[in-house]
A and B are shown apart, each in its own frame.
Chain A
Amino acid sequence: MDSLWYGHKYGLVDDDIFDLLWNHCDIRLPNLMARGGGIHRVRHQLNNQLKQIEDLDIRRSRAQQLFHEVILNGIHQTLAEKKKKEKTASFSPEEDCTLAFRKFLLSTSQGLSQGWNHLYIDDYSLFAPWSSLEDEQMAAYMMRPDVRKALHVEESPTTTWPDADIGFDYTSEYRACNWGDEIVLNISMVDIYKEVVPQLERTWIYNGDTDPCVSYEGTRLAVKQIGLEELDGGSYRPWFYNQTGASMKVLMEKSALFGPNLVAQDMGAQFAGEVTDYEQGLAFVTFHGSGHMVRSLGFLILRRFFLFVRIHIRSSLLSFRPSLLKGTSISSTSCIGIL
């Protein structure tokens, strides 16, 4: 996702501003991940510097600052090159593009930033209210002693979530969203699915359709790259669910972004997303209105989904993982999930 293209598509950028930036200034603002990991990547690359900052809020703020320095430096270089080539009486790339770019930032919650202190649009769910409450609630829950115990991480050296304690770093193991790192195992999730799918009766790979950062488009393309034939009649088509009313208690207590489309009334059959069926029981499924964290934003749809999920793992799979992974763990940076 390019935040300039996406912002224009969803009505956050004026046509003239978009035309100037896109067609004349050659501004491209690709997905944070595609740009090289965005704030996560900056934080990793500059970990030695950042981990000296003990306050997590200050550390996050510094990582965000560094990331924007990277963006702005890139844009300034683009404009400087254009200025040499294209300055005319009616178009001054540096001045006109700078003005347009700043207007773009002003109208798009700083280019759909995920880290700006005053952000007012949540790019995980453009049409839901913005709130950080669910993040704070989840963090408080995950750091509770009883939850740590339940997750068997009582002895973990890091005690904070989602940001790890000072000194945390990681090693890229798989060719999955690793942005050019030296990779321990040169295999991607597509390779893993090629081996897993034939051993399962049914495999559903899913993605929400509203988060432009971890977008369904990448998952959809990855599923095609598994290389299985689409079933005749199984092409991209809608699926539906029965939206029943949520109780007032749930509506009052839930975070705004936990099931933002929950309502008190029974709504009947509602659009749940799209599904494509392939040979060997593989399906690609989207969840309408959900970010990549389907379980929170698409709560009712997910509940219907799991009512029908029956996966039988053949015994041969039990010997698959150890032989393939040789004692390593599944990469936490994999972009697609398996049921």
Chain B
Amino acid sequence: MLSPLLPKNKTLSEMSDDDFYDAMDEWTLAAMAPPYVDSVKEVTMEETIPAVLA
């Protein structure tokens, strides 16, 4: 599966706004992580253009 399933329709429509936004954050982070995406290393600014910080 390329991406995790969304919460079921009934769950999605009945949760509060706050719960929905939490669920959206949680689902998005899950979809960006293993096993859907290979483990990735976060790139920092220092690694890209050190001269900017000179």
Contacts and interface: CB of A to CB of B under 8 A. Distances in A.
Contacts of A99: 9, 12-13
A103 to B, nearest CB: 7
A72 interface: yes
Nearest to B20: A102
Interface size of A as a range? 20 to 34
Interface in B1-36: 6, 9, 12-13, 17, 20, 24-25, 27-29, 32
A72 B13 CA distance: 14
Contact of A133 (B17, B28, B32, B48): B48
B40 interface: no
A176 B2 CA distance: 45
A265 interface: no
Interface in A91-106: 95-96, 98-99, 102-103, 105-106
27 contacts: A96-B13, A99-B13, A102-B13, A102-B20, A103-B6, A105-B24, A106-B6, A106-B27, A106-B28, A110-B24, A117-B25, A118-B25, A118-B29, A118-B32, A120-B28, A133-B43, A133-B45, A133-B48, A136-B45, A137-B45, A137-B48, A137-B52, A140-B53, A253-B48, A253-B49, A254-B49, A255-B48
Interface of B: 6, 9, 12-13, 17, 20, 24-25, 27-29, 32, 43, 45, 48-49, 52-53
